[in-house]
Amino acid sequence: IRDGDQAALGGLFEAYLRLHARGGLHTSPRTLSTYGRGMVRLLTWCGHVAGIMAQDLDADAARRFVAWLQEDLSDKSAAIYTTAARRFMAALRWAGLGEGDPFKGVSVHDRTPAVEKAQPYTLGELRALLGAATPRERVFVLLCADGGLRLAEACALRWSDLDLPEQAARVTGKGGKLRTVALTGRLTAALKAWGETGAAGEVLGASRRRWQQILEALCRRAGVPPRGPHALRHTCGTRLYQVSRDLLLVARHLGHSSVTTAAIYSHLGSADYAAAVAALDGNGSE
């Protein structure tokens, strides 16, 4: 820390994460890279803005650091780097530097309501996307919109993970957690059609960044406002809740560890809400 040796501190941080993070030895390179960038931001702020040593960070300084992040970053990015900074401080304590958690009770104030961020594609837009999609693109859209897969999960899916006769897929989710996902009939048919092209290995065979670009191009062809791959997953969660009214079922299908996380989908059906309120006209007597 005194010498500003970020490479050495990065090695310390990685060792801590591989021993103590949820993913342990299987912590992904992407997570390590993201947390590394968060560490650099914290060290930069401590050295060049606050003029303190990282191990001397206290709760007030932690709040100032978070405010500094939010000046130039989105709330989501600021939250990610705040988590990285919290974990880095834990790594320093593990190495014998500092006491207590300066980030305890400190969080990024998200200025955008969750409901507004989780806008799904409508059924009409989904039909338009499927109508304009190539066989490979159709598989991608349905893996997210019917299977509820995250972008990373869809891109990592391999043919060996599929049991098409049973209409099921074995998916590796966040933190290396495995879950079995039921497949719809149309997704199974799309996979069979795409598989008949002779594909092997990964089902989709392209990077996450590439699939973001492919979906954006597909949206343009279909005349659909692009909302990104995650909005397809929101479409799945919203539709599944509308037909089941069961948050446990939604959480299981999407791979949420908590029903609380899945609860967002109970708030997305604004049309259902309006219809329910309108129905009050017919209940009771004046």
User: How distant, in Å, are the alpha carbons of 39, 42, 46, 58 from that of 6?
Assistant: 9, 11, 13, 21
pLDDT at 284: 47
Pairwise CA distance, residues 170 & 187, whole Å: 15
Could you state, in chain order, the average pLDDT of each consecutive group of 10 residues for the chain (286 residues)? 92 95 84 94 94 93 94 88 96 91 85 60 94 96 95 93 94 84 95 79 91 96 93 91 86 84 66 65 53
pTM above 0.75, yes or no: no
Locate the DSSP E strands across the chain: 162-163, 168-172, 178-182
151 contacts: CB under 8 Å, gap ≥ 6: 144, 208, 211, 212, 229, 230
Amino acid at 210: R
pLDDT at 74: 84
pLDDT at 172: 87
pLDDT at 286: 46
Segments in 45-184 forming alpha helices (H): 59-72, 75-94, 114-117, 123-132, 135-145, 151-156
pLDDT at 269: 55
